[in-house]
Chain A
Amino acid sequence: MAGESRRRSDPPLDERRSRILGSLRSGAAGRGALIATFSTLVFFTLLVLLVTHAPGWPEVRSTFLDWGQFKDSFPDIAKAFLLNVKIFCIAEVLILIFALVLAIVRSLPGPAAFPLRMVAIAYADFFRGVPTILVIATLGFGAPALQLQGVPLSVTFWGIVSLVLVYTAYVSEVYRAGIESVHGSQAAAARSLGLTHWQSLRTVVLPQAVRRVIPPLLNDFIGLQKDTALVGFLGAVEAFKQSQIDAAATFNYTSFVAAALLFVALTIPLARFTDWLVARDRRRRQATGT
């Protein structure tokens, strides 16, 4: 059956993990693990030796890896990082919605929808083509300068708008790929039962499309999370801007490392969460009862 063969092609989790370490099967397991451990140790020892024996290492260590500086700068950067998280969260929700709308518009059938499709394509082409930093600079400095009544002056606001504009273009392409990956027979089955185009899209095509693109969506969101640092360019004191302030005050760059660690600390749980979502969906689709 289709279900069985699909299950067979999905290796069990431990088998998949073993691919990372090399072959660790049954009899050779002990020896394989030993070799893996040994070669890892050798590799990293060599790497550490190489770096720490570089001529400039003492200076680099004191400028980038100063524990005292780290402790001093970390609380302020962590606090500033909350702004990154806020920008990220607001932008992500808006992007998920707008990008879906854009993708749906782009997949509208019929000649009547041609102008709509054109606009959607032009939008995606434009905002994927322009560097994010330019969009942020143009809107962040330009929009408030208009001095129009009711137009917010907050650089954070314009930073979020810029990120939403740019990432909506990217994410709509991801959604579109998902929509196009759902076989036409699914929509045909839905339409044959009397569902309207919109009903079939909403209940049959989109749920499958979105599930399929969760990993690439996450990829874009990790990018977004990092690009929140670009809003610092406008003067908003987020983690990167704060670490720059600290570095300028102390002539020590350890604050950059602190900011970097914070960004990494946010992406890793996000990645595991996605893995969990994908695994849960796979389990559910093969569930055998209530």
Chain B
Amino acid sequence: MSDALVIEGLHKSFGPLEVLRGIDLAVADHEVVCLIGASGSGKSTLLRCINLLEPIDAGRIVVEGTEITGRGVNVNRIRRNIGIVFQAYNLFPHMSVLKNVTLAPRLALGLSSGEASARALELLQRFGLEDKAGNYPDSLSGGQQQRVAIVRALAMQPDLILLDEVTSALDPELVAEVLEVIRELAAAGMTMLIATHEMSFARDIADRICFLDAGVILEQGPPEQILSAPREQRTQQFLQRIIEAGRL
């Protein structure tokens, strides 16, 4: 397997606060990697750096063999190949679902309106949202909005999808429908890097779990090993707190 994503020595600070302190990570094609760790451990920042939403201070990021953190790269071209889905959905509230999904394929990929709509409707249908195409985001439930956000990212046919705690803003009864979509993507072979607090979901779906602590990947391995027999004390403490909170 070749690597979809390689990160080497990634550092990122916000002012005096160093959020990422040397991240090394490789994600193979079709691999699903889950990032776990406490709030503030750097999961979201890492994902935002990979999407170049945050400039990095040191290190390099290579996506599908192309270094994206070098000088003179076309940021817009790179972002087309890397989908990101946010915790707060970030749908465009002034556009219908269909327009939300077709906007980027039309403007960034240059698809005609007809081609973009056909692609969007096919995806909406695949995830049971075809009857919502004309709706505006505010009229949808949180789960539906997040599914639309995933479809919006998929419409760009990215090589890699980053999911940033996509179920954290949802009411508990709406989490399952979103996780179902992600499961289907994993089954279809989509390469994904997933920041999540859903440990049982991570155990289920991940090929590998990385535990982030204070801006470094402290421990990584297969789900069983990380969740059931973690080597590091910090990982054990983190999982202990999760168990106490009833999330595992």
Contacts and interface: CB of A to CB of B under 8 A. Distances in A.
Q: Chain A contact residues: over half helix, strand or loop, or mixed?
A: helix
Interface string A177-189: 0000000011011
A192 B51 contact: yes
B96 to A, nearest CB: 8
A207 B100 CA distance: 14
A203 B139 contact: no
A250 interface: no
Interface in A30-87: none
A203 B136 contact: no
Nearest to A202: B107
Given A186-B90, A188-B53, A211-B94, A1 B142 contact: yes
A136 B99 CA distance: 46
Given A3-B139, A211-B94, A286-B138, A191 B79 contact: yes
Given A2-B138, A287-B139, A193 B80 contact: yes
Interface residues of B, number: 38
A3 to B, nearest CB: 4
Given A189-B92, A289-B134, A194 B142 contact: no
Contacts of A6: 138
A137 B90 CA distance: 50
A262 interface: no
Contacts of A286: 136, 138-139
B86 A189 contact: yes
Interface in B73-99: 76-77, 79-80, 82-84, 86, 88, 90-94, 96
B133 interface: yes
A289 B51 contact: no
A200 to B, nearest CB: 9
A207 B94 contact: yes
A199 interface: yes
B104 A195 contact: yes
26 contacts: A2-B138, A2-B145, A3-B138, A3-B139, A3-B140, A6-B138, A185-B88, A185-B90, A188-B90, A189-B91, A190-B92, A191-B79, A193-B108, A193-B153, A194-B79, A194-B104, A195-B107, A195-B108, A196-B76, A203-B107, A204-B92, A211-B94, A285-B136, A285-B139, A286-B136, A288-B135
Interface of A: 1-3, 6-7, 185-186, 188-196, 199, 203-204, 207-208, 211, 284-290
